[in-house]
Chains A and B, each alone.
Chain A
Amino acid sequence: MNPQLEGVEDLEGTYVFDLRTSHRTMKLNRFLWNMISAGMRESYRADPEAAMSDAGLNETEKALIRAEDWIGLIRHGASFFVLEKFARVAGRTNLEVYAMMRGESFEDFMKTRRVPECR
């Protein structure tokens, strides 16, 4: 265990992205990262199944992507910072993704914010 992170497992709803996770989810995170390329975005939109297979995703990962299951992807080990690139392709804002990760509707989530109009 990294001593800088001792006790982090006690924090609920927090998934540390360390080298163990990164190593395990390399292909998934590369697939998500590739969405910064206009060409890769087009390939995904044209044929999502082929794009996922070409990226070497396993069946669990493909199902999570198909479902746009944001919290499922995070629990599986996606880095949020490549996940947000895929969110752009899926037409979701970060605020919408936060709400879904919390299991709340977007409007309910925004009611918990100080300036709900700030979007």
Chain B
Amino acid sequence: MARIIGGIGTSHVPTIGVAYDKGKQEDPAWAPLFRGYKPVAEWLAKKKPDALVFFYNDHATTFFFDVYPTFALGIGERFEVADEGAGKRPLPPIKGNVDLSIHIAESLVNDEFDMTMFQDRPLDHGCASPLPLLWPHEPDWPGAVVPIAINVLQFPLPTARRCYRLGQAVKRAVESYPEDLKIVVVGTGGLSHQVHGERSGFNNEEWDMEFLDLLVKDPAKLTELRHVDYIRRGGAESAEQIMWLAMRGALEGEIRELHRNYYLATTTAMTVTLYEPA
């Protein structure tokens, strides 16, 4: 039986990818971010999970608004890293696990989560920005990614509670997989930020801390919030933090926070956290 051995929360700011590719790991302005990922990367190197289930969002790269899925699951041996307007990044294609992805797809649909399935499509910074900070990619990635994209771009978005329940369903899917795989769930996005309109640059550190605390101690409270509550407290684009609730749902029950790094340098509160079941 496969099982979930832990969870990670991480921002997916595209600039992280740019700074990584430019080798800014030791740059004093960037070092507090990169350093903050090290304990998580070390934990992953020690625990050696077979796959990361990534709850992330596509930024209208893999999908356009002509057909924009609410929940989509990727199936493939490999996923290319997308060109988002500035050309290709120097990263190997992300590894997939076809059998695991298909099992999760079947389990979710039979559990009444009617996913869209995608194949042969690239993944954008929603997944690719934090991935190389978590896992080495030389000569190749050490494991597979199961990408689960959540619409946080075009309203109506799934509710916070629906995302939590998706996570619970992913837990059931993983635990019904016959092979003894170790799985880590990753929730991406946030924390507070707004990147459009005159309110661009909005942050709320107090709310970010409250969110992180509630995520561990009382996630039900976070599932009761409406999108407008996230927009008001954390900035318009922070509504994407509902993707952390999918990760939390997959961990269900009591958890321990092993690590937290919070770095608000310019516009997005760049955060990484690590959890294990208590």
Q: Which residues of A contact B (CB under 8 A)?
A: 2-8, 11-19, 22, 26, 29-30, 33, 35-38, 41, 71, 74-75, 79-89, 94-95, 98, 101-103, 109-110, 112-119
Contacts and interface: CB of A to CB of B under 8 A. Distances in A.
B61 interface: yes
Contacts, number: 144
B119 interface: no
A100 to B, nearest CB: 9
Contact of B154 (A14, A79, A116): A79
A98 B195 contact: yes
Given A4-B226, A115-B265, A118-B266, A101 B155 contact: no
Contacts of B83: 36-38
B264 interface: yes
Contacts of A119: 29, 266
Given A11-B231, A30-B66, A79 B199 contact: no
B232 A2 contact: no
A101 B136 CA distance: 37
A43 B60 CA distance: 21
Q: Mostly helix, strand, loop or mixed at chain A's interface? A: helix
B266 A33 contact: no
Interface residues of B, number: 42
A107 to B, nearest CB: 13
Contacts of B200: 13, 98, 101-102
Contacts of A88: 84-86
Residue of B82, B157, B195, B264 contacting most chain A CB atoms (<10 Å) = B195
A8 B153 contact: no
A13 B199 contact: yes
Nearest to B126: A81
Interface in B209-239: 226-228, 231-232, 236-237
Contacts of A113: 201, 265-267
A95 B17 CA distance: 15
B129 interface: no
Residue of B82, B84, B155 contacting most chain A CB atoms (<10 Å) = B155
